[in-house]
Chain A
Amino acid sequence: MMEDFNSETDSDYTSYWRDWFISSRGNEYFCEIDEEYLTDRFNLTGLNTEVAYYQYALDLVTDVFDLDADDDLREQIEKSARHLYGLIHARYIVTTRGLAKMVDKYKKGDFGKCPRVMCEGQPLLPMGQHDIANMSTVRLYCAKCEDLYNPKSSRHASIDGAYFGASFPSMLFQVYPGLAPEKSITRYEPRIYGFRVHAAAALARWQDQYREDMKARLRDVGMEAKYVEDEEVDDEEDDDDEDQILDSKERVVGDAVSGSMDLGI
């Protein structure tokens, strides 16, 4: 049944199209979708309007493709199959089984490490900014700094973000809250000859206040926003420390007083 397909596509063709797909270069972010999930038509609701040659593409993905097509057509079907696989993938990875597979990949660091220095190599998760195809390419979400990064390799930079979906990382941490890394308040402080720079330092103080406001808000509803630094006994010298927030406020007051003297008051 598979013979003609075999001869056409790839020489090191393994037994299934999906195996070939997820093991080909550039598709490292994808996990393998269960046969069961693929064959349940409910899971594919609405996709027939999204994908050209839907039925052939689905046959190809599920390894029952049996059409004597010419090369052009075969190529198009192949392309459709990849697109279809991506769209199903976005749905699959928010299911229990799909999440578990992606968690494994996450733990292995298959999606790369956060480029932010202060995140200290936190593993990333792929996601899209949109659920609609052809809107944006795949992004990488860092759970430590809660920010999005572009993949560093160009072969990943062309993958459609819709193949992972905008809900995936949030869903993953809802289901596996224990996997969420501890957040840190450490930040980079630009300095010139050891002196902090006013603009950056003022913004940092403002951001610290913003964070304190959030913590207060959460405390009001009986929740605690935890940061790594809260648990450590901080040494007093570090300006970033939580217990220093009050001090720094006093310092701001002091600065402002001297500032007002500049104005001649």
Chain B
Amino acid sequence: MDFELTDAQRLIRDTVREFADKELAPLAAELDRLKRYPEKPLQRLAELGVLGMTMPPEYGGAGADTVSSCLALMEISRACASTGVTVSLHNTLTCEIIYRHGTEGQRRRYLPALCRGQILGAFSLTEPTSGSDAASLRTTAIRRGEHYFLNGTKLFVTNGSRAGAIILFASTDLSRGDKGITAFLVEPSFSGFRVGKREEKMGLRASDTAELVLENCQVPVENRIGEEGEGFKVALSSLVTGRAGIAAQAVGIAQACLVASVRYAKERRQFGQPIAEFQAIQWKLANMATEIEAARLLTLRAAAQKDRGLPCTMEASMAKLFASEAANRAAADAVQIHGGYGYIQDFPVERYMRDARVLTIYEGTSEIHRLIVARQLLSPSPLPSPHSWGEGKGEGPQGGPEEGMGAWCVRDGGDL
């Protein structure tokens, strides 16, 4: 047991930290205000090897581990959460899925371009009537010869209008429920593909969130990922890295809240002394710092489990749930510590609060994650729980009703 970073992890963190402090943080307020897509920062991140960083070098990646990926996302999100979510989606969902479930041809075709930042990745599961209940999606895919024809509407797709490679889920057999879902790799140039509404958001305003409309969208058979009916499994498997990524984003935002609050509390004088001298302020700072430390450890544990090939469904859910809620508490306290200035756009904390709000919603709401954790706790043996720490852990149930769980078993899912 050793919570120290390896030299490689430290190098990646320090490199990204320097970029985040020097190049990204100074732009963040303007990107947010103008809702400007972080095109230049993304290009710089590609140059630094951060885009697709967990991909093996033969596909253009840096061969980094999940822990490093989370460390990078923490640093990026500390400076700009919009850039954070953009990279998180690109790395932890699109690249991971293509690498893990794609054919060699798909990997060779897409991964080098994704790693170079020539194209951006997206992940499209959510629909107007299918959020947390992801398996209830209505978009259909019908095969005719060498093509599938997709029809339906996808919602809240991060990077949706910017992406060159979209992992998109549709049903090849609606009668089979989640077992009818299939994953596709969709390019925006495909006929029948159209970007619909671009959402106006409360936070993460520099990130792109779009509706995708599929009207007989023609997808070549070679762009199917996995077999027909394996899509839901593909979606769930990737959500572990995705959730660790969002947890890391949350840690970054929370850290930004703490740093801003400590600085402000030492400078701001009221009643003849810095407000940092008041216990009411000190308590908030102590709570923030403690929860950030816990969130960071939960996040990196989930990542480390993933890197060791161990089951980490519950660990990833705990990390995402805890970190996202801690970030919201940190942001609310940061605004409170800043008082009136906290409400004004000249200070960054109102942005942190807006950015933090989505964390408990996307990539599985807090409610979904509590159900996942509870389901694992209540599942029959082997108990994949904290209680078996240090013992072998069994893979917990993933989606679908489990034996003995009956009606209270819920479906996984829910992205943005």
Partners in one complex: no
Q: A residues touching B (Cβ–Cβ < 8 Å)?
A: none
Q: B residues touching A (Cβ–Cβ < 8 Å)?
A: none
